[in-house]
Amino acid sequence: MKSGLFGSEPLPSEVRRTIFAGCLGFAIDFFDIYLPVLALAPVIGYFEPKGLSPAVSSTIYFFTFAATLFGRPCGAVIFGHWADKIGRRRTTMISIAGFGILTALIAFLPGYASAGVWALVLLIGLRFVDGVFMGGEYTSNNTLALEMAPKERRGFVGGVLQGAFPIGFAMVSLVTTVMLSLTTTQQYYTWGWRVPFVFGGLLALGFLLYYRRVPESTMWQAAEKSEAPLRALFAGPHRRSLFQVFLMMSGYWLITQASVILPGLMIHQLHVPAKMTSDGFFVGSIALFFGFVGCGLLSQMIGRRLAIAIAGFVVLVAGSLLYFATIAHALAGGTALVTTALGVSFYFLVVSPWGIVTTYICERFPTHIRASGYGIGYSVAVVIPSFAGFYTLWLSHLMPYVYTPLVLLVLAGLLIVTGVLMGPETREVELHLPDLGGAPLAGARAVAGDD
């Protein structure tokens, strides 16, 4: 097969089906992750006592999202282990069933008026367990898709897989927008917000039925299996690779926190209408799909390491300036439309570099620990950034609350650049080669995970 960004021959049907399933599964995963960000933003008071300050209410709103992120590393550890032991396909199906059921259950939760503080406890608890199963879905499903992809198309495939994020986010935006349009404020507060959660459960059920047609990874089937994948990952020479990925991904997750905070700030602090915010980020999510694919293709052309380093510098400088412009325009009395346009532009710029990370992390680990390495490397770094709501609340004593995400962005850019420069280039690694205990090989036939 001719080398290049796309290759010269069509992919076999089972490979196309696997890549499509990877993208679709990740989209549904992201749909469920970001349900609270938009669907609950106008009604978070349904789960809270009355009289809270806007800053405290925003913190609770952010923590509802963060609870899901806390669950994802747990799911990555649990399901990554089983994906390496019993297979990527079976583990994916178990994960899909789990988060589909839990997402649907959230639609039936009571509010603070009838259940008191237990309403909030149940919401956060279900979102945490939901996150555990979501962590299992992408840990096994994305690994399967990358293992089936040809080397010269891995950058593109990784971008498409990560492109599931804007697809999922766009679906949440669309469903939320439709419900806000079809209901009054009181109707949405009472029952309208429940519809997106029921829809999320049904999406998971439909995908589970489709996934029965997806084959197991031929690379995993041919590889020698590890009796203890986690021990091999943490006790062996790949521990340094995991630490390096952890630093880099800490920066990426700080970007996510800053971008997730923005819609809530626009609605509650900058007084941008909820529907305009939802519409704006819906359009931005559609554009972001092409940003992910573009970054994935760029990494195929110039290499993963250089592409990620450039992305970190862009976040550090251009991302910070664009966020500042968004807030400053609104506080100066600028129009809501221009504030939304600036906010969505910021969102597109700083989140697009995620299109490289799935491919890069999978290339850092050999087959017998790839699901564990990818899942843990991708997810565990989210734990510290998940407390961003508390960091910004503390920083609000030193600077205006609406500007506190700037600190997250600066730190994110520094961590991304530092982390990726600690590791090697991975574009030419051969994923199918056996692990040689971390010993480096020469040239293009480097083993995944070698330094």
Q: Give CA–CA dist 304/322, Å, rounded.
A: 25
Question: Which amino acid appears at position 257 of this protein?
Answer: Q
Domain-located, residue 3 = no
pLDDT (mean) for 97-102: 92
Q: Give CA–CA dist 43/191, Å, rounded.
A: 10
Q: Judge whether residue 195 has pLDDT over 90.
A: yes
Q: Judge whether residue 438 has pLDDT over 60.
A: no
Q: Judge whether residue 319 has pLDDT over 90.
A: yes
Number of domains in the chain: 1
Q: Give CA–CA dist 219/125, Å, rounded.
A: 37
Q: Share the mean pLDDT of the chain.
A: 86
Domain-located, residue 2 = no
CATH number, domain with residue 294 = 1.20.1250.20
pLDDT (mean) for 199-220: 92
pLDDT (mean) for 17-25: 90
Of the candidates 167, 179, 218, which has an alpha carbon nearest to the alpha carbon of residue 431?
Answer: 218
Domain-located, residue 6 = no
Query: Helix-strand-coil percent breakdown of the chain, rounded to 5?
Result: 80, 0, 20
Domain-located, residue 450 = no
pLDDT at 201: 92
Least confident range from 55-59, 191-195, 360-364: namely: 55-59
User: Could you read off the pLDDT of 302-318 as tens digits, one per residue?
Assistant: 999 999 999 999 999 99
Question: Which amino acid appears at position 97 of this protein?
Answer: A
User: pLDDT: is 219 or 389 the higher one?
Assistant: 219
User: Could you read off the pLDDT of 260-300 as tens digits, one per residue?
Assistant: 788 878 888 888 888 888 788 878 888 989 999 999 999 99
Supply φ then ψ for residue 430, to 5 degrees: -100, 105
Q: Give CA–CA dist 22/389, Å, rounded.
A: 31
Q: Give CA–CA dist 248/360, Å, rounded.
A: 11
User: Could you read off the pLDDT of 376-399 as tens digits, one per residue?
Assistant: 999 889 888 878 878 888 888 899
pTM for the model = 0.83
Q: Judge whether residue 91 has pLDDT over 90.
A: yes
Q: Give CA–CA dist 362/149, Å, rounded.
A: 12
CB atoms within 10 A of CB 418: 16
Task: Give the residue numbers spanning the domain of 127.
Answer: 13-445
pLDDT (mean) for 163-181: 85
Taking CA atoms, 252 is separated from 92, 193, 258, 355, in Å, by 24, 29, 10, 11
Domain-located, residue 338 = yes
Domain-located, residue 257 = yes
> pLDDT band for position 125 (50/70/90)?
very high
Task: Say which residue the tokens 């730190």 belong to.
Answer: 411
Three-state secondary structure of 57-79: HHHHHHHHHHHHHHHHHHHHHHH
Task: To the nearest 10°, report the CA torsion of 322, 403, 282, 65.
Answer: 140
User: Could you read off the pLDDT of 343-369 as tens digits, one per residue?
Assistant: 999 999 999 999 999 999 999 999 999
Please answer whether residues 362 and 431 qualify as being in contact, where contact means their C-beta atoms are separated by less than 8 angstroms: yes
pLDDT at 211: 92
pLDDT at 338: 92
